[in-house]
Every structure is written in C-alpha cells, then in structure tokens.
Structure 1
Amino acid sequence: MPSSPPPPSAASPARKLAAIGAVIALVVAVVAIAVAVGKAVEGGRDAGRTGGPEAAASVQPQEDAAQQKMFDRLARQTTRREHGDPLAVGRQDAPVLLVEYADYQCSFCGRFTRETQPELIKKYVDAGTLRIEFRNFTLYGADSERAARASWAAGRQGRFWQLHDELYAKTRKGDALAEDELVRMARASGVTDLGRFRTDLHSAAADRAVKRDQDEGYELGVQSTPSFLINGRPVSGAQPTEVFTQAVEDAAARAAKNRAAAK
C-alpha cells in the first residue's frame, strides 16, 4: 500500500498541526480496535493476501464512551450526503456511510474496487443500508492528480462511477494516465461530450474539488490508500470483503439501536 506524507505546500502550519493530532487520534483508534479483527480477518484472508501490506481493520470493537465520541466526531467531519453528488452511490439518508480515500495509481484501491465494492453495492447499497462516498486522495503526483480531475469531469456528465471502474480495471501508471488515454477511457465509459470533458478536466472547479478531498484527508491524518471510514470507524487497506461486510452490519445495527433509543 503506498504511503506518503503531504508535500510541504499542501497545508499551512496550523493545518499540519491539526493533521498530526488527527494521526495520533486515528492511531489510537486503530490500536484500540485491532484486537476486534479476530475471526473476521482470520477466516476471510486467503493465502494470496497473507503477509500483504494491508493494515489492520476495525470490525466490532468493545468501545468505551470516549472512543464512541471520537468515532462520532470523525463521522461528522467526513459526512457530506450532498444531494446529487456524482462521487457517491446509495441513498442520501442511508444509515451507514462508507467514505473512501483513494488514488487511481494505487493497486490496493483497485483490488477493493474489483473485489469488494460490487459485493457491498449488491448487498447493502441496493437495499438502502449503505451509501459510499469517494474522495480523491492523490499520492503519486501529476498523473494521479490528472486522473482524479478526469474522474470528477466524468461525474459532470453522470459517468463518474463508470470511469472510476475503468481506471481501476487494471493498475495504470504514468503514461497510461496521459490525457489522451483518459479521454479514450472516458469515451469507453459513456462520456458523450469529450470536448466538455477536456475543458472540465482542466478547470479551476476540478482543482477545487480535488483539493477539497485532499485537504479533508490531510486534516484527518490519512497517510495511505485505500483508507476508509464506516460511520466514523477506520478501516485501513484492501481488507477481505468479509471485514467490510461485518463492519457495515455492525454499523447498521448500531444505527438501528440509536434510532430505537431516540423514539
């Protein structure tokens, strides 16, 4: 899994200090919940993933009030639920929200997209339980940033997820993400106005959208991709699908319990 600190120009000193605090908070959270991975990871990890670089995941922690308060704060920080968001899939009021921070040159992000995301959509998004919101968190420089702007530009024509999946169909790096290649993939993804696509790709609005996602990740202390929050609880790396399904089930159960208690 790629790992890289933000470039010096990416944040102000105050933001860097906030990010350091967020890193500490997230590390504490992951350490506190790592013991909960247990059988979900042991039973779900196949031989091809054993010893891989994926980080520990959060599954079903026995948490105290302070931890729950922290998870709730993370959820408030990252939840957008914007109407018509082209980088989101699922009901706006779904009880469970999965936020993904990813880079298009990240092979482990591609693994999640190919192996786990279709199962989550079929089982939870289509049932109205889960909403997925994607964040462009670029780690590999200009090629990643160009791909991120391209995916946003495709979203302007309602084809974000189609280009997203095409970009992750296999690992693409460097020249494979040149502008002409991105235009070719956009065409294959159903983007009809390619002139507008090129204009949007180079627009200030695209830069702002990608920077918004990037700044959010830095402020949380995201250091590697893919990184996820499920109702504020961190899951790091391309974990087995079973880890994500367990996390979604647990989050849905907690949300139902909270709704019942509020009545």
Structure 2
Amino acid sequence: MPSSKKKSSAKKSATKPLLISAGAVLAAITLGIVSWQATAPAGTGSSGAPAVAGPRTDPAAELKALARRESGDKLAVGRADAPVVLIEYSDFKCGYCGKFARDTEPELVKKYVADGTLRIEWRNFPIFGTESEAAARAAWAAGQQDRFDAFHAAAYAAGSKEKGFAEHRLVELAREAGVPDLERFTADMAGGPAAAALKKDQEEGYRIGVTSTPSFLLNGRPIAGAQPLDTFTAAIARAKAEAAQR
C-alpha cells in the first residue's frame, strides 16, 4: 500500500492533472461553511439577517442559499427563477478557467440557459495577483454597461491571458467586447464600487473554503475544476429533477 501511494503521488506530480479531487473540494467547502457558522457573530445569518435561534447544521442548504438570484445582476445570465443555478468562482489568469469558458460554458448557455433551466452566476475570485484583480474589476466595470459576458469571452479567448492584463490591455478588451463608453469603463474599473464588489465575491469564496479556480456550486453541490461537459450535463439533469420534486 505505501509503495502504491508513492507511485500515485509521483504520477500526479509529473502529469499536473487538470482536475482536483471533488471529494477534497467538498470537504474543504463543507468545513469552510461550518467554520464560518461557528465563528459568525451572534444574531447574524449568511446575508447579515437575524439568524434563526439554535445551531445551523445544514451546510448544503447554506451553500445552495449563496445563489443571489437578483434579476439585475450584471454578472449573471439566465432567469432569476431558473430551477438550477451554477455559481462559478474564477480568475481571468487561470488557464483552466479559460478552458471551461471556451469549451464548456457556451454549450451550457446554448442548451440550458436558453430554455430557462439554468442560471449562471459568476464570482470574481482572483488568486494570481494584481493583474488578476485588475481584470476582475474590469469585468465588473464592463458589466455596468451590460457587456460582462462579452468581456468575459474576450478575456478568456485563446492566447488572451498571455498578453497580460495591464490597464491598456483591459481597455482593448473592453473595446473588443463592445463596451460603449470607455471613459466610464476606466473610471468604474478604478472606483470604490468595483473594489467592493470584488471583495464581496472573494469573501464569499474564502468563507466557504474555495482555494482554487475554477470552482463551482450547482444548486449547492460542489463541482471541482474544469470538468468535461458530461459532468455538468449530468449534474444539471439531477438538480433539475430534484427541483421538480419539491
């Protein structure tokens, strides 16, 4: 058994696999939300509202409740009342996030967002330094002019992250995404509301134990990494069926 474990570990280190353990992510997220519950100030809930008396012992319900379902959310696509919500924690400098954005996400939008089954809510979760954070603020700023999804596609296009996300490059991406008012975009990108929105997304992710990108919650169930399309379609089908039974 020890030799088998060493061999497996060496293989993982050598190949640098795309996917991380879904079980590990589930454990991390569950422990994160339980820890948050244990240390949250008395009398407050996940949204700052008064907490129900007595201990909360349902992390899955807490994770599901993270879906904001705000009709005016600029960083979301799909109906606010869709039966299935996919929350994505991602970084524009993350290669695997880009792979998901190019290979899988468009299919999910075409198949499930279009028919009202799925809503996708993005959370900016930069973990690769200052350029990651700048790109996150820029994406938020593009969203204020209803061009988040177009900016998202441009920033995740093949070869885009290799060009970096300095300010002049972010303006180029905004122009490519069709942001109409670039002066407003630049001001929004540097403003306090963008920083506050980014902080909100980051705090949510860290609170529940997200440590890598991309990470997902689908109706409260964690999905780890840029999984194949079939993984998401199966999870969506299950979540939709469960929602129909309620």
Question: Which TM-score bucket, shorter chain as reference?
Answer: 0.7 to 0.9
Contact 1:55 1:236 in 2 (8 A): yes
Q: CA deviation at 1:53?
A: 2.9
For 1:90 and 1:57, how far apart are their aligned partners in 2? Answer: 26
For 1:161 and 1:250, how far apart are their aligned partners in 2? Answer: 26
Q: CA deviation at 1:257?
A: 0.8
Q: Which runs of 5+ in 1 are unaligned?
A: 1-49, 59-67, 259-263
Q: CA deviation at 1:93?
A: 0.1
Decide which of 152, 155, 165 is 1:164's aligned counterpart.
Answer: 152
Pairing 1:177–2:142 present: no
Match of 2:19 in 1: 54
Match of 2:89 in 1: 101
Q: CA deviation at 1:247?
A: 0.4
For 1:128 and 1:56, how far apart are their aligned partners in 2? Answer: 30
For 2:197 and 2:159, how far apart are their aligned partners in 1? Answer: 24
Contact 1:79 1:97 in 2 (8 A): yes
Contact 1:226 1:238 in 2 (8 A): yes
Q: CA deviation at 1:233?
A: 0.2
Match of 1:132 in 2: 120
For 2:159 and 2:191, how far apart are their aligned partners in 1? Answer: 26
Match of 1:63 in 2: none
Pairing 1:146–2:111 present: no
For 2:101 and 2:19, how far apart are their aligned partners in 1? Answer: 15
Pairing 1:75–2:64 present: yes
Matches within 5 A, 1:1-263: 52-57=17-22, 69-76=58-65, 78-173=66-161, 176-258=164-246
| AA in 2 matched with 1:73 | E
| AA in 2 matched with 1:196 | R
For 1:171 and 1:81, how far apart are their aligned partners in 2? Answer: 33
Structure of greater relative contact order (alpha carbons < 8 Å, 6+ residues apart): 1
Structure 1 residue ranges, 4+ long, deviating more than 6 angstroms after superposition: none
Contact 1:143 1:173 in 2 (8 A): no
Q: Secondary structure at the match of 2:19?
A: coil
Q: CA deviation at 1:172?
A: 4.0
Contact 2:18 2:96 in 1 (8 A): no
Q: CA deviation at 1:102?
A: 0.2
1:221-240 deviation per Cα after TM superposition (whole angstroms, max 9, x unaligned): 10000000000000010000
Contact 2:154 2:160 in 1 (8 A): no
For 2:68 and 2:222, how far apart are their aligned partners in 1? Answer: 17
Q: Secondary structure at the match of 1:148?
A: helix
Aligned residues: 199
Q: TM-score, normalised by structure 1?
A: 0.73
| Root mean square deviation, CA, Å | 1.7
Q: CA deviation at 1:52?
A: 2.0
Contact 1:154 1:197 in 2 (8 A): yes
Q: CA deviation at 1:158?
A: 0.5
1:162-207 deviation per Cα after TM superposition (whole angstroms, max 9, x unaligned): 0001000025447621101110110111001110000000000000
Shift in CA distance, 51/106, structure 1 to aligned 2, threshold 3 Å: closer
For 2:209 and 2:156, how far apart are their aligned partners in 1? Answer: 24
